[in-house]
């Protein structure tokens, strides 16, 4: 199949974060609804807060996980009729590694492979197919990191974000003009992350992390086609094209306190800078025609910065660690620019999970999460109706190894 351009991130309507971010990339993160910034320990500290690697046990830590993500069909009722999007199922593998101390400095290095954004939404109904017959994104982020102690109570960490994106977008305008679009492609783009941990007391951890924006600068080829019986005089467009869409920057501020009972409570405030997503603008090279105008006119997005509030509780009992989480996640998508490709809404997230230490080397874990989007009425220039019953279901299973 010919390599083409992908509209790489204006995607799924039922992700586990508002917009198209995926913050759950380990057992603990899923179990705690991503309230996992200050009380981070283990191999996945390399991704969620590299500064916390300093406080890991003096051992090499490895974790391999797999997350099932199920997206419900979203129901729509409105002026164009009543219909539903297709259900979606995905399996996402992840890997985390954190090293033991490097010499007398106490420094550590880490490495993570995760999926920071994406998924898919497909519609079969005419009113939706013009923008979202299929929108699919797959991303892989390779995140090498390091951590150094600044003092007995302060540590600093940083990492490099190397993001590979692959995806597909299909759409057609329907009658009377009928222009179809079939796009595929990929890109590799770079960002960074930094982190701090401050432990004024043994029981208390304060943390801050910042994950930079990564612009997905996709380049490829686009195929735009007319139905010949409608536009026999127009040749199809097949040529180079490009688009840039951001994975937004995010700031996390967190506090965790551990009680004598072995119970840890963590609260996280997350600010996601979605306002970087202002327009969706495909650039086509070569001779312009009605097809490139139809699919190349800049589309206003004007997304808004959002807040997410997360709360997690962890309880240690002998060889067991039990976890639960709760979060409220705001949508960045304003009513004026909401479309079928991402009919997003504010969400309530609930999660539960646990780990079991089998021996001094091995542990296993299992966690589940439900993301429940609010019903959303929309009245704008392209949609007049209500989206309902949007849900996401996550199950993460994994194994950890200490050596």
Query: Under a CB-based contact definition with an 8 Å cutoff, are residues 136 and 145 in contact?
Result: no
Joined tokens for residue 308: 């997410």
**Does the pLDDT value for residue 304 go beyond 70?**
yes
Q: Which CATH superfamily is domain 27-402 in?
A: Outer membrane protein transport protein (OMPP1/FadL/TodX) (2.40.160.60)
pLDDT band at 135 (very low <50, low <70, confident <90, very high): low
Mean pLDDT of the chain: 86
Q: Reading across the β-sheet that carries 384-388, which strands appear in turn?
A: 81-84, 75-78, 384-388, 376-379
Q: Which residues pair with 162 in a beta bridge?
A: 142, 190
- Per DSSP, 374 falls in state P
Kindly report, residue by residue over 194-210, the tens digit of the pLDDT: 999 999 999 999 999 99
Between CA 345 and CA 331 the distance in angstroms is 5
Give the DSSP per-residue string, 30-97: HHTTT--SSS--STTHHHH-GGGGGGS-SS-EEEEEEEEEEEPPPEEEETTEEEEPPPEEEEEEEEEE
**How confident is the model at residue 232, as a pLDDT?**
53
**How confident is the model at residue 20, as a pLDDT?**
56
Neighbours of 201 (CB within 10 A): 10
**How confident is the model at residue 89, as a pLDDT?**
87
> Average pLDDT in the 110-124 region?
78
**How confident is the model at residue 363, as a pLDDT?**
98
> Average pLDDT in the 22-36 region?
93
**How confident is the model at residue 282, as a pLDDT?**
77
**How confident is the model at residue 208, as a pLDDT?**
98
- Per DSSP, 235 falls in state P
Q: Name the residue among 315, 322, 326 with its Cα closest to residue 366.
A: 322
Neighbours of 354 (CB within 10 A): 18
- Least confident range from 14-28, 63-77, 78-92, 261-275: namely 14-28
- Domain ranges across the chain: 27-402
> Average pLDDT in the 9-13 region?
34
How many whole angstroms from its chain centre is CA 142?
Answer: 14
**How confident is the model at residue 235, as a pLDDT?**
57
> Average pLDDT in the 245-252 region?
90
Q: Name the residue among 268, 351, 266, 364 with its Cα closest to residue 31.
A: 351
pTM: 0.87
């Amino acid at each position: 199949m010919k390599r083409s351009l992908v509209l790489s991130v204006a995607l799924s309507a039922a992700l586990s974060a508002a917009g198209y971010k995926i913050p759950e990339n380990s057992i603990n993160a899923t179990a705690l609804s991503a309230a996992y910034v200050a009380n981070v320990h283990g191999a996945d500290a390399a991704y969620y807060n590299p500064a916390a690697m300093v406080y890991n046990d003096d051992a090499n830590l490895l974790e391999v996980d797999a997350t099932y993500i199920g997206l419900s069909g979203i129901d729509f009722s409105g002026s164009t009729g009543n219909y539903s999007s297709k259900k979606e199922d995905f399996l996402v593998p992840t890997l985390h590694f954190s090293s033991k101390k490097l010499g007398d400095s106490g420094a550590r290095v880490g490495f993570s492979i995760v999926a920071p954004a994406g998924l898919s939404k497909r519609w079969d109904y005419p009113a939706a197919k013009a923008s979202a017959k299929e929108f699919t994104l797959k991303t892989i982020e390779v995140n090498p990191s390091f951590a150094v102690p600044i003092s007995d109570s302060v540590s600093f960490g940083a990492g490099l974000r190397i993001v590979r994106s692959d995806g597909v977008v299909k759409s057609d305008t329907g009658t009377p003009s009928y222009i179809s679009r079939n796009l595929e492609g990929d890109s590799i783009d770079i960002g960074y992350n930094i982190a701090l941990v401050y432990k004024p007391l043994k029981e208390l951890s304060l943390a801050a992390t910042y994950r930079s924006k990564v612009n997905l600068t996709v380049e490829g080829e686009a195929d735009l086609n007319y139905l010949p019986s409608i536009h026999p005089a127009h040749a199809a467009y097949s040529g180079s094209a490009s688009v840039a869409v951001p994975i937004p920057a995010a700031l996390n501020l967190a506090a965790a306190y551990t009680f004598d009972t072995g119970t840890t409570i963590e609260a996280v405030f997350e600010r996601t800078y979605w306002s970087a997503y202002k327009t969706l603008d495909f650039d086509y090279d070569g001779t312009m025609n009605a097809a490139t105008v139809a699919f190349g006119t800049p589309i206003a997005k004007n997304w808004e910065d959002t807040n997410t509030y997360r709360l997690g509780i962890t309880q240690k009992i002998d060889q067991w660690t039990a976890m639960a989480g709760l979060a409220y996640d705001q949508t960045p998508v304003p009513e004026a620019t909401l479309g079928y490709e991402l009919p997003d809404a504010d969400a309530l997230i609930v999660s539960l999970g646990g780990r079991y230490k089998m021996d001094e080397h091995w542990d296993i874990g299992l966690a589940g999460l439900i993301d429940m989007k609010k019903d959303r009425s929309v009245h704008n220039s392209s949609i007049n109706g209500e989206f309902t019953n949007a849900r996401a279901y996550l199950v993460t299973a994994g194994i950890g190894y200490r050596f």
